[in-house]
């Protein structure tokens, strides 16, 4: 697929999302996360990150977006964001696409934007899985294009969310993984970000609203740089606004 066609497909799916054409919002949620970690690669070793997330479902699909604000020791603040709109074939066609653990099939796009004009375009398909105990498991297969590198590559992205209880305490296991192929002068890289969060809000009349826990960021060949592997545990405080 040419870069122009890939870009057009991303824009087409993006244009179907939230401002007006997305249709009535069925559900939405927003949260703010504060993360603190040490021993990062390719940049300052110590960082504080504030992440703002939004997600919603509509009559034709869903949308997820986030922005990371990274506060560095020298006072610099770096911003990075992604937006992922998806079109549900079951909602668009009125047909039930369920089959076994597969609950839906979707068209998906993703746009990534960072400092200095860094951007990437992804487009492809997704399946949602209905697995007992999980709020969601989402699997995406993308064609990925980084305009600063020659060619295109593939990316597999997975996201999950599972609440559970131990000894009367509520916890949340969630996270995502991005497995990207080689592109241009960059090598294949794998990013794994699992989280284990304790629902501390449940002890203060705000169950499901305030979480404290650990996020582990493991990134093999970070940014496609051969031999650079990052493994950073991060303390996380998560406040669910809605």
Q: How far apart are CA 189 and CA 171, in angstroms?
A: 30
The predicted model gives 27-36 an average pLDDT of 96
Q: Do the beta carbons of residue 114 and residue 136 sit within 8 Å? A: no
pLDDT score at 117:
85
Alpha helical stretches, state H, 69-131? 89-93
Which own/partner contact pairs does 68-71 have at CB distance under 8 Å and 24+ positions apart?
71/47
Percent of the chain at pLDDT > 70 equals 90
Q: How far apart are CA 241 and CA 67, in angstroms?
A: 16
Q: Do the beta carbons of residue 86 and residue 106 sit within 8 Å? A: yes
pLDDT higher than 50, residue 231: yes
- Spatial neighbors of 75 by CB under 8 A, at least 6 apart, are none
Q: Do the beta carbons of residue 191 and residue 178 sit within 8 Å? A: yes
pLDDT score at 116:
86
12 phi, psi to nearest 5 deg: -65, -45
Which domains are seen in the chain, by residue range?
A: 3-240 (2.40.230.20)
Q: How far apart are CA 152 and CA 4, in angstroms?
A: 11
Q: How far apart are CA 15 and CA 9, in angstroms?
A: 10
pLDDT score at 32:
97
> 37-60: per-residue pLDDT in tens?
999 999 999 999 999 999 999 999
pLDDT score at 3:
54
Mean pLDDT estimate for the chain:
92
Instruction: Break the chain down into helix, strand, coil percent, rounded to 5.
Output: 10, 60, 30
pLDDT higher than 80, residue 15: no
The residues facing 192 across adjacent strands are 177, 218
pLDDT score at 17:
45
pLDDT score at 225:
97
> 153-200: per-residue pLDDT in tens?
999 999 999 999 999 999 999 999 999 999 999 999 999 999 999 999
Q: How far apart are CA 7 and CA 120, in angstroms?
A: 9
Q: How far apart are CA 4 and CA 227, in angstroms?
A: 32
Angle 108-114-119 (CA atoms, 0-180°, nearest 5)? 50
Of 21-25, 96-100, 131-135, highest mean pLDDT: 131-135
């Amino acid at each position: 697929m040419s870069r122009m066609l890939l870009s057009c497909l991303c824009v087409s799916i993006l244009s179907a999302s939230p401002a007006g054409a997305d249709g009535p919002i069925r559900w939405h949620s927003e949260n703010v996360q504060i993360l603190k970690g040490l021993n990062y690669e390719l940049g300052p070793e110590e960082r504080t990150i504030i992440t703002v997330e939004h997600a919603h479902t509509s009559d034709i699909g869903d949308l997820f977006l986030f922005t990371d604000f990274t506060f560095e020791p020298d006072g610099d603040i770096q911003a990075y964001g992604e937006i992922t709109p998806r079109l549900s074939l079951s909602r668009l066609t009125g047909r039930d696409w369920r089959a076994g653990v597969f609950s839906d099939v979707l068209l998906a796009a993703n746009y990534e934007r960072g400092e200095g004009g860094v951007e990437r375009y992804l487009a492809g398909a997704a399946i949602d899985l209905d697995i007992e105990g999980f709020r969601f498991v989402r699997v995406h297969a993308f064609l990925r294009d980084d305009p600063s590198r020659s060619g295109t590559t593939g990316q597999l992205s997975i996201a999950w969310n599972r609440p559970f209880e131990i000894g009367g305490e509520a916890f949340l296991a969630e996270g995502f993984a991005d497995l990207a192929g080689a592109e241009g002068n960059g090598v294949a890289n794998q990013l794994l970000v699992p989280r284990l969060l304790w629902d501390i809000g449940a002890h203060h009349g705000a169950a499901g609203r305030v979480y404290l826990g650990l996020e582990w960021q493991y990134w093999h060949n970070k940014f496609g740089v051969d031999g650079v592997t990052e493994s950073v545990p991060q303390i996380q405080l998560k406040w669910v606004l809605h």
